[in-house]
């Protein structure tokens, strides 16, 4: 997503993948993203995973209420449990509040701040 507004919530999910069940993982990751996108207060999602198996996914939410509802969503919890059982060696979740941000793009004149 673009620069989120101040006061919005970034849920940072860092994880180390096991080698197990690549197909099941990809299916679940897709389902997880669709589920998040269906929820109230969802702003977007950014994700990257390197060849070392370490991944970072950030989901962006309008406010704490929306981020908490995502944490407590039964479907989300079901997929998290499967992640602990099969796909992950470790993960860390850090909930943060956005203060400010800016974006730069090669084909634009300069940075924009918020």
Residues near its own copies (CB under 8 A): 2-4, 9-10, 12, 14, 18, 46-51, 54-56, 58, 84, 88-106
Q: How far is the CB of 33 from its own copies (least distance, A)?
A: 14
* Distances, alpha carbon 104 to alpha carbons 12, 25, 51, 100, 112, in Å: 22, 33, 26, 14, 7
Q: How far is the CB of 75 from its own copies (least distance, A)?
A: 19
Residues 67 and 40 sit within 8 Å (Cβ to Cβ) = no
38 or 47, CB closer to its own copies? 47
Q: How far is the CB of 54 from its own copies (least distance, A)?
A: 5
Residues 10 and 58 sit within 8 Å (Cβ to Cβ) = yes
């Amino acid at each position: 997503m673009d620069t989120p507004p101040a006061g919005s919530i970034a849920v940072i999910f860092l994880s180390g993948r096991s080698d197990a069940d690549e197909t099941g993982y990809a299916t679940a990751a897709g389902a997880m993203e669709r589920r998040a996108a269906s929820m109230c207060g969802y702003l977007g999602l950014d994700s990257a995973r390197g060849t070392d198996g370490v991944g970072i996914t950030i989901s962006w939410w309008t406010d704490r209420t929306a981020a908490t509802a995502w944490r407590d969503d039964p479907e989300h919890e079901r997929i998290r449990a499967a992640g602990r059982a099969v796909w992950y060696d470790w993960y860390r979740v850090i909930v943060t509040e956005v203060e400010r941000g800016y974006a730069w793009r090669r084909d634009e004149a300069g940075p924009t701040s918020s």
